[in-house]
Structure 1
Amino acid sequence: MISTNPLIGTGLHAIGGISAASCYLPNTQTRKWSWGTFWLVQALFAWIIMPLVIGWLTVPGFFSIFVQAPSGSFWIAFLLGGLYGFGGMSFGKAINHIGYSLTYTISIGISAVLGTIFPLIIFGGLQDFFSRAGGNIVLTGMLLSVAGVLFCGWAGFKKEKDLKLFGDGKVRFNMSLGLILTSIAGVLSGVFNLSLEFGQPIADIAARNGAGIFEGNAKLIVSTSGCFFVNFVWFVIAGLRNRSLKELYPGKMISIGQIIRNWCWSAFAGTLWCFQFFFYGLGHVKMGSFQFASWVLHMSMLIFFSYIVGLLMKEWKNVQSKTYIILLAGLITLILSFCIISYGSYIGESIINNAN
């Protein structure tokens, strides 16, 4: 019997949020590498190497589980993970255009709602979910989260104008393109949660093998392998076309020492990304009867800590106070919406449990 503690679970989700919010910062330390080269190397660690290492270390009979896994669950989880691969690319490029705080806030705000709704649509129960006790509260929270995303988008367009008026001209900022990319990333991030849901039978086998609170590490590699496959094909083809793959080898433009440093920073970035779901899995199990709140809780942690990273990166240095207030209103609205969604889910779960 696994001991549960929602307080510890919340703390684990917070650690995962910190890891996710900072996972692309190492890119600022790479030198003489294009963004595509960095992305390809960090993806190798984020989606293949680290999930395999963590799974092998924490799940008994890790590799044998995939032989026992239902083929339908395996391939659907893999293909949906592949769809998220496009979302990951969009997310990374959006950071280049609108920064950390806006990219995380908008995409995660979208993901929090869709990541909750998608499984209900696919597995059934959408109408029952909203018509049962607490359903109207959850719906209110979701509508409020949409309002929060709109506030943040408004702040982004205000920031773009402020930078043109008060900026030094050195900051690249394109809110229109960034909004498109973050919207794609947010939708496909919700698809990644759906991929993990389809992979649950794999986690169930791991649980029967004695994986305990680490059962989720068995299904993670299936979903992330799909992510990596899409990114690998895309960036290898792109690298061959623009000849950026030569950045991986020492030459006149880059020394072997710089390549080693770049690999280390990229590996660190990929490890941080992977750790977010390592701690998400631990936190999810520890939440006990509050597991329904894991996804939105994790998303709120991501938004909060990405905002802190954005402040440390001085992304909002040259904006007017009105723009900053609009951003804060959006952040507060989003976090409040997640609290309302969690509360509504809690009401519904409590009534169901009492009835049983």
Structure 2
Amino acid sequence: MNLFFGIFLHGIGAFSASVCYTPQKKTVSWSWQTYWLMQAAVCWLLLPVIVAWITIPALALVLAEAPGDAMWRSFILGALYGIGGTAFGLAIRYVGFSLTYAISIGISCVLGTLLPPLYRGELGTILSGAGGGWILSGIAIGAMGIALCGLAGYAKEKDLAKRSNTQTVFSLAIGLPLCLLAGVLSAVYGFSLDQGQPIADVAAQYGAGHFQGNVIYLFSNTGAFLSTMIYCIYLHVKQKTFREYVSLPAASTAGKTALPLNYILAIITGVLWYTQFFFYGLGHVRMGAYQFTSWAIHMIMLVLISTLIGILLKEWVNSSKLTRFYLISAILTLIVSVLVLTYGNYLGAS
């Protein structure tokens, strides 16, 4: 039951990740970098400190005793993850959201899962153990389901383009390398958490229990914030948008309430983003022998839940029959993937 509860907690985290960026649509007269830096300050800087302080007993002693090399590795890998997130945003401009999502998340799912045990030289031993074959199959099926989601999304974009008769900017030559970069560097976040585990082990010795993973976010998330902040400040300087933090253009139709509302929406985004990994950590410690599968389960459930939310919001109503076929196939494939991964973890736990 501990295993199944862990997967349930991963599902809560994946749901938070699926909806965390929806508030962005309601912001008024804010550039991308203003909104992005504000929400990043909440989820990658402020909340990791607050939550670690609340949930980790004797935090100062934990940090004093934890190995410094683990802190640095987690921080640097987190910074690379921040670069991957920026590449993801840029790739969307050239190949669209669906293809970017499918390629980047698919790569992140596979690499982020297999890289930690491969680095430790444990992958062969793990996969040859009880349930190992099921785990590998579940990851492969999940990557296939993510690819089908991308295909459905691409087909949907083509359906919309036919109806609107508008030309869109599409450049695979630029977008594909950005997708590959985003996928590889996003996978590094799972590796960052893995490399920070010695810090969590010290926290566990001081009674942190299932909350032990929260101490790792002090390093992985602040690393991501650093690289994100550098890029956002570069855009602020280039586009002269620093003033957006204190005032909006006079032509803004929302009046005096728009600026406080923008801050509230950015804070909601940051809280939701951090919530996904708060529950990720709670689920991860319950995964038993195959903890490394947490990243695959999180990524697959994220894509599955976000797709189901899109259906509930009627985003696919006017799609063609072929597009809906791709969509249904993707959902069924993702569900099978989660079930296969769950069974593999069950065999390993047994």
TM-score range, shorter chain: 0.7 to 0.9
Distance 1:121 1:9, change over 3 A: closer
- Decide which of 76, 80, 102 is 2:77's aligned counterpart: 80
State the SS of the aligned residue for 1:32: coil
Distance 1:184 1:148, change over 3 A: farther
Check conservation: 2:3, 2:346, Cα contact below 8 A: no
Amino acid at match of 1:325: F
1:16 maps to which residue?
13
Query: What is the distance in 2 between the residues matched to 1:302 and 1:19?
Result: 9
Q: Does 1:347 align with 2:347?
A: yes
Query: What is the distance in 2 between the residues matched to 1:152 and 1:121?
Result: 28
1:311 maps to which residue?
311
Amino acid at match of 1:142: I
1:298 maps to which residue?
298
Distance 1:139 1:335, change over 3 A: same
Query: What is the distance in 2 between the residues matched to 1:287 and 1:341?
Result: 11
Q: Where in structure 2 are the equivalents of 1:70-219 lying within 5 Å?
A: 70-93=67-90, 98-99=96-97, 106-167=103-164, 169=166, 176=172, 181-219=178-216
- CA RMSD for the aligned pairs? 2.8
Query: What is the distance in 2 between the residues matched to 1:348 and 1:317?
Result: 41
Q: Where in structure 2 are the equivalents of 1:274-293 lying within 5 Å?
A: 274-288=274-288, 291=291, 293=293
2:328 maps to which residue?
328
**Greater shift in the superposed pair: 320-329 or 253-262:** 253-262
Amino acid at match of 1:112: C
State the SS of the aligned residue for 2:316: coil
Check conservation: 2:88, 2:182, Cα contact below 8 A: yes
Q: Does 1:260 align with 2:260?
A: yes
Query: What is the distance in 1 between the residues matched to 2:256 and 2:74?
Result: 38
Distance 1:302 1:127, change over 3 A: same
Query: What is the distance in 2 between the residues matched to 1:211 and 1:135?
Result: 30
4+ residue runs over 6 A deviation: none
State the SS of the aligned residue for 1:258: helix
CA positional deviation for 1:87: 1.9
Instruction: Tell me the TM-score normalized by structure 2.
Output: 0.87
Distance 1:149 1:16, change over 3 A: closer
1:271 maps to which residue?
271
Distance 1:46 1:21, change over 3 A: same
Amino acid at match of 1:29: K
Check conservation: 2:146, 2:303, Cα contact below 8 A: no
Q: Does 1:248 align with 2:248?
A: no
Distance 1:182 1:18, change over 3 A: farther
Query: What is the distance in 1 between the residues matched to 2:318 and 2:91?
Result: 20
CA positional deviation for 1:109: 3.4
Amino acid at match of 2:105: I
Query: What is the distance in 2 between the residues matched to 1:332 and 1:93?
Result: 30
Deviations 1:1-50 (A, max 9, x none): xxx72343233222211111111011011100011111111100010011
Distance 1:185 1:316, change over 3 A: farther
2:58 maps to which residue?
61
Distance 1:168 1:291, change over 3 A: same
Distance 1:285 1:191, change over 3 A: same
Distance 1:23 1:81, change over 3 A: same
Distance 1:158 1:27, change over 3 A: same
State the SS of the aligned residue for 2:319: coil
Q: Does 1:234 align with 2:238?
A: no
Query: What is the distance in 2 between the residues matched to 1:252 and 1:295?
Result: 42
Distance 1:127 1:291, change over 3 A: closer
Deviations 1:138-190 (A, max 9, x none): 333333333333323332332232122124759x7859476655544332222
**Greater shift in the superposed pair: 303-312 or 43-52:** 303-312
Stretches of structure 1 lacking an aligned partner (at least 5 in a row): 351-356
